[in-house]
Structure 1
Amino acid sequence: MTDPADLRNAHLQAVRSGAFDAPTSGLCAGYAQANLVVLPAALAYDFLLFTQLNPKPCPLLGMSEPGDPLIAKLDVDVRTDAPRYEVFRDGAFAEERSDLTDVWREDLVALLLGCSFTFEHALLAEGLPVRHIAAGKNVPMYRTSIACTPVGPFSGGMVVSMRGVPPELVERVSELTGRFPGSHGGPVHVGDPAEIGIADIMTPDFGDAPVLETGDVPVFWACGVTPQAVVLDAKPELAIFHKPGHMIITAQRDAVV
């Protein structure tokens, strides 16, 4: 059997070389995947408090020192270890990149936040359906009317991911994902999307259109794209994120997330 650490190392080598450039859902079972937020230090500590007050959409896995792109405890170089990055200036999209080396600055701070892709391995191991993985698609993600606790310039609504679940499996899926609080934990809503401000479930704000089978119940989890939406509303002079779905795979084992 291939060592999971070898699989993660091979994945990172492929990402760093540019050979891998795709969503990471379903990859490197056993390791926690992470969302990335990079901000100037002047804003990073307000955002750190935002994560503490909003742990469901923003479960903090690690944070760098100003100017240091390495987060040693997670074995991550935030400049190179996501397949794709998005750079925003003054709240507007500026460019997409496969590497941040040329834009990294001495005042930048990186935060890594847990991702629901991590608990998908547990669902698959139990034989539970994860339809977007089976279809080779990115998970659908939606802006909602669920308000986050504001801190300084950061406020706004929660973004959620959605997975279609057969009704007889909703309780089991909810219980199993609840074991992963560092990866958003259990669902924040089950059922009618309109109750959380989603007008059309077939047109997500991020990711791919949902894969649903007859009778499926839409189940929604807090999503790590929330900080991207909240940060951009604050219009910082520079903000950098992973491209949605293109996560950093950390060295942290998901069993302890």
Structure 2
Amino acid sequence: MTDLQNIEPQALRKLIRDKKVTGHTSGMAKGYIQANVVILPLDYAYDFLKFCFKNPKTCPLLDISEVGEVNFSKYGKDADITTDVGAYRVYENGELIETPTDVKHLFNDQMVSFLIGCSFTFEHALLEAGIPLRHLEEGHNVPMYITNIPAEPAGRFEGNITVSMRPMTMKDAIRATEITTHFKNVHGTPIHIGNPADFGIKDLENPDFGEPVKIKDNEVPVFWGCGVTPQSVALDAKPELIITHAPGHMFITDVKDSELSD
């Protein structure tokens, strides 16, 4: 059986491309950056670039492809963004219409692909520090919630930010904050610790994306900005076409997470 924790990125991307790995990628290719994916028509690319620039906590931009290209010179030279994500979401005019395992049939030479930092990247550092992560212990995707906090609008893109949540003791939450200070390009420090109602989350048992996790009596919910935010703002921007990764199904890059740590 393949050791997916310690596999090289190129090998993991091939398994994903060949549909041999189809689940969420948290904990895979340990030590390498994982990225959220947004693919847009060129006409929307500049507005989305501005949106990322204005919202670095939720949309920390790692790289942009050349127009019509399926790879990234630094983050995945031999990659194919249309096949190397385990599951995609396809929106037309703000409506989710398809969740395919590749998007070759939708890609054309006027598309631009964006890689956005993902909190899965700093999870390795948290685990190395002895901070347990409940979603990994329970074997499923991290829970994500749409908040009532508006993102900074840019052109045609506006909407509320999405956050991921990991329960921790307050002691571990403080340590996690210190550790993620060094990962500014992949969401950085938490945006909130404690009461989810403070920013409009009514029920932690019913995340908007991912699966719920158990929160113990001595733990508090810790929330980070989440790169699923573009999916929620897509519902408002209503571009004729936007393709994203399905939550938890990340693009595995060739760059080590240590390269993003300062």
Conserved 8 A contact 2:45-2:112: yes
1:188 pairs, out of 165, 188, 191, with: 191
User: Within 5 A, what are the aligned runs for 1:7-18?
Assistant: 7-18=8-19
Alignment match, 1:177: 180
What RMSD, in angstroms, separates the aligned Cα atoms of the two structures?
1.4
Deviations 1:68-109 (A, max 9, x none): 111121113211111111111111111111111121111111
Alignment match, 1:103: 106
Give the letter aligned to residue 34 of structure 2. Answer: Q
Whole-angstrom distance in 2 between the partners of 1:34 and 1:229: 17
2:206 pairs, out of 193, 203, 207, with: 203
Range moving further from structure 2, 132-141 or 202-211: 202-211
Whole-angstrom distance in 2 between the partners of 1:204 and 1:225: 13
Give the letter aligned to residue 220 of structure 1. Answer: F
Alignment match, 1:255: 258
Alignment match, 2:131: 128
Per the alignment, in what secondary structure is the counterpart of residue 70 of structure 1? coil
Alignment match, 2:71: 70
Give the letter aligned to residue 208 of structure 1. Answer: E
Range moving further from structure 2, 62-71 or 180-189: 62-71
Deviations 1:148-205 (A, max 9, x none): 1111111111100000001222110111112111110010000000001111111111
How far does residue 137 in structure 1 lie from its aligned partner after superposition?
1.2
Whole-angstrom distance in 2 between the partners of 1:17 and 1:211: 34
Range moving further from structure 2, 166-175 or 37-46: 166-175
Conserved 8 A contact 2:194-2:221: yes
1:138 equivalent to 2:148? Answer no
User: Within 5 A, what are the aligned runs for 1:4-43?
Assistant: 7-43=8-44
How far does residue 9 in structure 1 lie from its aligned partner after superposition?
2.4
**Alignment size in residue pairs:** 255
User: Within 5 A, what are the aligned runs for 1:110-121?
Assistant: 110-121=113-124
Give the letter aligned to residue 58 of structure 1. Answer: C
Alignment match, 1:87: 90
Alignment match, 1:160: 163
How far does residue 6 in structure 1 lie from its aligned partner after superposition?
5.2
Alignment match, 2:240: 237
TM-score by length of 1: 0.96
* Same amino acid, percent of matched pairs: 46
Deviations 1:16-57 (A, max 9, x none): 100000000011111110000011100111100110111110
Whole-angstrom distance in 2 between the partners of 1:149 and 1:6: 38
Range moving further from structure 2, 107-116 or 175-184: 175-184
Per the alignment, in what secondary structure is the counterpart of residue 179 of structure 2? helix
Whole-angstrom distance in 2 between the partners of 1:44 and 1:5: 35
Q: Structure 1: state its 5+ residue gaps.
A: none
Q: Structure 2: state its 5+ residue gaps.
A: none
Conserved 8 A contact 2:193-2:223: yes
Per the alignment, in what secondary structure is the counterpart of residue 51 of structure 2? helix
Whole-angstrom distance in 2 between the partners of 1:55 and 1:66: 23
Whole-angstrom distance in 1 between the partners of 2:122 and 2:19: 26
